[in-house]
Structure 1
Amino acid sequence: MSNRREFLIRTLPAAGLTGLASLASLRGQSLGGDQALFRVEVDLVVLNVAVTDRRGNYVRGLKPINFRVLEDGISQRLAAFGEGNAAPVRVSEISISGSPEAVKDELPANLELPVGESFAGANVFVLFDTSNFMYRSFVYAEDAIADFIRGLDEADSVALYGFSRNLTRHAALTDDRLEAVKGLRRSVAGDETALYNALLLTLRDAAKVSGRKVVIVFSNGPDTASTVGPDDVGAIAEDEGIPIYVISTKDLNKDPISSNAFRRITARTGGRAYFAKTWQRQSEAFVNIREELASSYTMAYYPQPNPNRSWRNIEVELSGPELSKYRVRTRNGYRPKI
């Protein structure tokens, strides 16, 4: 089935529209002035789902039968499922609680699904704030990011981007950790901060990549030069199914405008915001994100018939009273396009 939607956002000035128009699943149409209409086609819905206990520890070892996915209250049939960095597989190939009987799968065998070894691991896009706001902590930030890159799972790939007023792609998506760290070391301090412009361009690159992908933003906070807002960018990431994680080097209450924006865009995409003033806390945040990548679940489904042509709410529940004590985090939903 084909689900399509039209979503109006403010974008970068005309000079920046050429790059944005090439976004893999976003197609732009000039409307005049500084606006463009982007269309996002939604067929297969892919969810990244984190499950934690009350202490924040990640819960592993769950199976498709342990989850219930609802879209606008309509129960969905999972087509593919994976845990951590392992390649997702068709649900029909997963046994229930160790039983040799597989989960019933009524989907056609030739249906396109994100399964197989080519979908193992995550495609991690690290977006590093190199503006003058980061001047004092620049070296410490580089070291924390380098440690994060070196510690990624073998199946993961990573890209390293820097931004101040403009975005610089220091290292394209690669499984070569040394190359990514070399790209990081090539970054230099800049001037003003156009975080949301850079994030939008990063989402453009991420949308071209098959499989699981996440964006990690490391920033001091204030955006002084963007022409696109955080909620517009968050909506695109939400529809694309790309979780955004933010590590801010400021305390939560130091810059409430930026802090609230970070919390909104991470919550709606299924990511998480960290407010880490010291390099120790920043390193801890990276460790936590790396653990989440290795512990979360990937689920995919083709939506059941639904007359709703606007926002579709997604809920992921755990089945069984013994699992009710756990917390589930994923994106809030998406906007299909007709």
Structure 2
Amino acid sequence: MLRSLWVVLTSSLMLNLAVGPALVRAQEAPADIPPITIRANTRLVVIDVVVTDKKGQPITGLKPENFSLEESGKKQKIATFTPPGAGQSAQQTLPPGVLSNRPEYIKPAGVPTVLLLDATNSHFLDQSYGRSQMLKYVLGQAESGKPMAVMTLTDQLHVLQDFTTDPKILMNAIKNLRPQEQILQAGTSPGPSSISAELASFTDLAVGYVLERRTLITIQALRDLSRMLSGFSGRKNVVWLTADFPFDLIPTDRNVSDEELLADLPDVRQKSVGTIASGSLASQQRMLHGQEIKQAQADLASAGIAVYPVDMRGIMASGIDVSTTFALRELAAETGGKAYVNQNEIKDGIALAVADENASYSLGYYPENKKWDGKFRNIKIKVDRGDTENRYRKGYFAMDPTLDKNWKPEQEVAGALQVNGSATQVFFMAQAKPTDPGKIRVVFLVDAHTLTAEDAGGSKKMNVSLYASVYGPNGKNLGTRSTKVDRAFDAATYQQILDKGMMVPIDMEIPAGGKELRLAVLDNKTGLIGTVTGPLGQ
């Protein structure tokens, strides 16, 4: 672990840049910025463990030696350890005209929590009730408290309010969240007695198409959330308010026992594992989109996100919806969160997620198994006290997206730039300055601690792509310029890049109607992305 060294960009430095990568003078970062792990041929796996007593009260004061950790039956050495409340830096202010996706500039101190209202998988009335419960929860936060963001899922993920600790700002964002008819109406297929067989077949196809679209939109939202929250240290909570979830996250490599199912669903003991695991629509979608779901799960695990699904339908008079309840509980179990279902005061489900941060310990380790083969790896954690209840994600897929033959880096970057929230997997700062009429120079300063470097005969090889896009007021991409740094650096130069950052300029013309600048940095060896958005002229 090295303490990051960073720079404050100034106009005078910008005007003297040479074409191509360059290094600038550095100044030591403030002491409260947490250290960053260098990604040089290492894969650090971080697991958040919520440790409570039998009454659900947090257990504090635990040390690394109180924990033991196994991956797929093999004991692992704990390399990093963060107790509850540690490792959170105060929010800082950027210099004028500078853009950045670094956490200390975009998030207040504290464990971040996302309140997400799902309109893709929920009907109008459910959305309305969920919104009222969100307002009720925030209304109870009389003073500045925990950092929260408000998002919604429609045709894609949208950030309505970035992280803030001000309840009044959150209230305004939630008030502006207007319930709408479900984006994709699944409907139901009428029986064959009411319509012809041909029409019934067409209706079934329409229902299948809608479910397919809901699944793909939801998978992409999980990946977008992972990119946005990945750079924040410690635990990240996502409270997912929904009335349905189109697929489940049960790893295909892990069997679900009857005991596990019945422990999670005591009210549906009459349902067998086979009926639920193979017969539900959620499980069918998992089988149809297994690779995409595996990648989304790997992203959630890498980002350290715990999902807290909250069923907006409240108490259902007709009884529990077995398939939806099962999918929501599995979503929570696989990510280390907790589901809140069949309850009316769903604001309490939000409070549940926030309370868990007081009992959350972060354990990091470098897996002894260095083969990233896409297989699922089980994780087992024990605490050397007999009176604890421990909750954490059950494992992860050892995925390397760059080994996927279908991986398209240009498409990944384009998708990341469509989201109105910063991806934080790669940190950078940037500034755009006019050069000639209608032209600008965008200067990137990339934190090399968040890039991968491969050994290359005594040198370090880096492969990074940088993108600058101009968007119009309607969200349309009007033009993109890109450049690539794909070369090896000797040891001394690489150390300078680590200490001072990698500076790369892009010159581009401003298309007519351009209003917004969206920037991206892609690590071509890992597929990790950083993005930031700002108005042209900033």
Alignment deviations for residues 147-196 of structure 1 (CA, whole Å, 9 cap, x no partner): 54564996742221012344322112334433233222111122325462
**Offset, 1:294:** 2.1
Aligned equivalent of 2:361, options 297, 300, 306: 297
Letter in structure 1 aligned against 2:398: P
Letter in structure 2 aligned against 1:245: Y
Cα 1:85/1:234, change in 2 over 3 Å = same
**Offset, 1:266:** 1.3
Question: Percent identity over the alignment?
Answer: 24
Contact 1:83 1:297 in 2 (8 A): yes
- Correspondence for 1:74: 74
1:59 aligns with 2:59: yes
1:161 aligns with 2:151: yes
Match runs of 1:138-177 below 5 Å: 138-149=127-138, 151=141, 156-177=146-167
Contact 2:46 2:364 in 1 (8 A): yes
CA distance in 1, matches of 2:221, 2:370: 35
In structure 2, stretches of 5+ residues that fail to align are 1-40, 90-102, 185-213, 248-284, 401-538
Cα 1:137/1:260, change in 2 over 3 Å = closer
Aligned equivalent of 2:117, options 116, 122, 128: 128
Cα 1:152/1:236, change in 2 over 3 Å = farther
CA distance in 2, matches of 1:152, 1:68: 40
**Offset, 1:142:** 2.5
Contact 2:46 2:302 in 1 (8 A): no
1:246 aligns with 2:309: yes
Contact 2:70 2:379 in 1 (8 A): yes
Query: TM-score, length-normalised on structure 2?
Result: 0.43
- Correspondence for 2:394: 332
In structure 1, stretches of 5+ residues that fail to align are 1-40, 90-113
Contact 1:133 1:220 in 2 (8 A): yes
- Correspondence for 2:50: 50
- Correspondence for 1:206: 229
CA distance in 2, matches of 1:50, 1:222: 24
Aligned equivalent of 2:178, options 161, 173, 188: 188
CA distance in 2, matches of 1:44, 1:132: 34
**Offset, 1:219:** 0.9
Contact 1:131 1:189 in 2 (8 A): no
Alignment deviations for residues 66-121 of structure 1 (CA, whole Å, 9 cap, x no partner): 111222333333333233333279xxxxxxxxxxxxxxxxxxxxxxxx9xxx9952
Alignment deviations for residues 209-250 of structure 1 (CA, whole Å, 9 cap, x no partner): 4443221101122549x9967944444313432111101123
CA distance in 1, matches of 2:118, 2:298: 22
Higher relative contact order (CA 8 A, sep 6+): 1
Contact 2:108 2:164 in 1 (8 A): no
- Describe the SS at the equivalent of 2:305: coil
**Offset, 1:298:** 1.8
Aligned equivalent of 1:275, options 327, 341, 362: 341
Coordinate RMSD, CA, aligned: 3.6
- Describe the SS at the equivalent of 1:59: coil
- Describe the SS at the equivalent of 1:289: helix
Is the radius of gyration larger for structure 1 or structure 2? Answer: 2
CA distance in 2, matches of 1:80, 1:88: 15
Alignment deviations for residues 303-324 of structure 1 (CA, whole Å, 9 cap, x no partner): 15325544332211112xxx12
CA distance in 1, matches of 2:144, 2:333: 28
CA distance in 2, matches of 1:265, 1:222: 9
- Describe the SS at the equivalent of 2:168: helix
Contact 1:121 1:153 in 2 (8 A): no
1:179 aligns with 2:160: no
Contact 1:85 1:155 in 2 (8 A): no
CA distance in 2, matches of 1:153, 1:214: 20
- Correspondence for 1:30: none
Alignment deviations for residues 127-164 of structure 1 (CA, whole Å, 9 cap, x no partner): 11246944335454234324545649967422210123
Contact 2:298 2:398 in 1 (8 A): no
- Describe the SS at the equivalent of 2:81: strand
Q: 76-85 or 131-140, which moves further after superposition?
A: 131-140
**Offset, 1:50:** 0.9
Q: 286-295 or 174-183, which moves further after superposition?
A: 174-183
- Correspondence for 2:411: none
Aligned equivalent of 2:321, options 222, 246, 255: 255
- Correspondence for 1:264: 330
Q: 251-260 or 324-333, which moves further after superposition?
A: 251-260
- Describe the SS at the equivalent of 2:339: strand
Contact 1:125 1:206 in 2 (8 A): no
**How many residue pairs end up in the alignment?**
265
CA distance in 1, matches of 2:142, 2:359: 13
